[in-house]
Amino acid sequence: MGSMTSVWKPEVVWSRPEEERAGTPLIVLFHGYMSHERDLIGLAPMLPPEFTLASVRAPHAIGPGFAWFGLASDLSYSTPEAVGAAADVVGWLDTVKDQFTSVTLLGFSMGMAMATSVARHRPTEIAAVVGLSGFAVEGENDFFHDDAVASAGLPLFWGRGDADPVITEAKIDFTNRWANAKTKLTKMKYANLAHSINPTEMGHVCEFLRQTIPLAAVEA
């Protein structure tokens, strides 16, 4: 993985049949560690119906599910490995994006690392990013164009619970500093929410999407 000589062809679950996708706005869903592509597609009833959803399976089988990159017990990881996974997503996205009116990225946990990494590489092509209970990748890498992210005014919704036992303070601190400095940030924290998503948060995500993405001309 990570090579751009051949295009990655992931397993993808779509919310619409192929013949109904053209001319709709796209949301690409990135699941968390040891999860799978059928997890986040369950959010479909809580997202604006105008969107087409594409839920992508991560490349590495681990335990009962899949991972985007290796993760140690202390949540340490290899920045180049994470970047390689994001580069593969960019290659795949290039093969599908042109039929859609816009591309938004939504990631949960490790999936937020993927969503933000793809956006940091192609900030002018991404309409918005939604990150839930996750983090942004730390470390210098030429793949990231953070000055361009800032210039583009990339809209980012970052939601997390105040009772999340998984994402470390160090990752929260870096993500907070990066997001405040480089994105047009909407930041929400939810009382008594662990490493999860709740309906209140999804209501806020819908509000963010409707305020950020042009939907008026799209029929559900």
**Running DSSP on this structure, what letter comes out for residue 99?**
G
Q: Is residue 1 part of a domain?
A: no
**Averaged pLDDT score across all residues of the chain:** 95
In-domain check, residue 7: no
Dmax over CA atoms of the chain, in Å, equals 46
What pTM, to 2 d.p., does this model score? 0.94
Specify if 195 maps to a domain: yes
Residue 220: pLDDT band by 50, 70, 90 thresholds? very low
Contact yes or no for 206/16 (Cβ under 8 A): no
Is residue 202 domain-resident? yes
Q: What is the DSSP string of 8-62?
A: ----EEESS-GGGTTTS-EEEEE--TTB-TTTGGGGGGGS-TTSEEEEE--SEEE
Alpha carbons 26 and 220: distance in angstroms, whole number:
13
What residue numbers bound the domain in which 65 lies? 12-212
Contact 91, 113 (CB under 8 A): no
Q: What is the tens place of the pLDDT at every residue in 71-122?
A: 998 889 999 999 999 999 999 999 999 999 999 999 999 999 999 999 999 9
Whether residue 1 has pLDDT greater than 70:
no
Question: C-alpha dihedral over 142, 147, 153, 157, to 10 degrees?
Answer: 50
| pLDDT given for residue 2 in this prediction | 47
Please give the Cα distance from 31 to 194 (Å, whole number): 17
CB atoms within 10 A of CB 202: 17
Kindly state whether residue 220 falls inside one of the protein's structural domains. no
Residue 203 covered by a domain: yes
Assess if residue 189 is contained within a domain. yes
Mean pLDDT of 182-206: 98
- Is 112 part of a structural domain of the chain? yes
Query: How many Cβ atoms sit within 10 Å of the Cβ of residue 27?
Result: 27
What amino acid occupies position 191? Answer: A
CB-count exposure of residue 20 (10 Å: 0-12, 13-18, 19+)? exposed
Burial 35-50 (b: 16+ CB within 10 A, else e): bbbebbbebbeebbeb
Q: Tell me which residue of 82, 142, 91, 92 sits closest to 116, measured CA to CA.
A: 82
Q: What is the CATH number of the domain that holds 110?
A: 3.40.50.1820
Number of domains in the chain: 1
Pairing of strands 155-161, 60-62: unpaired
pLDDT digits (tens, 9 = 90+) for 112-158: 999 999 999 999 999 999 999 999 999 889 999 999 999 999 999 99
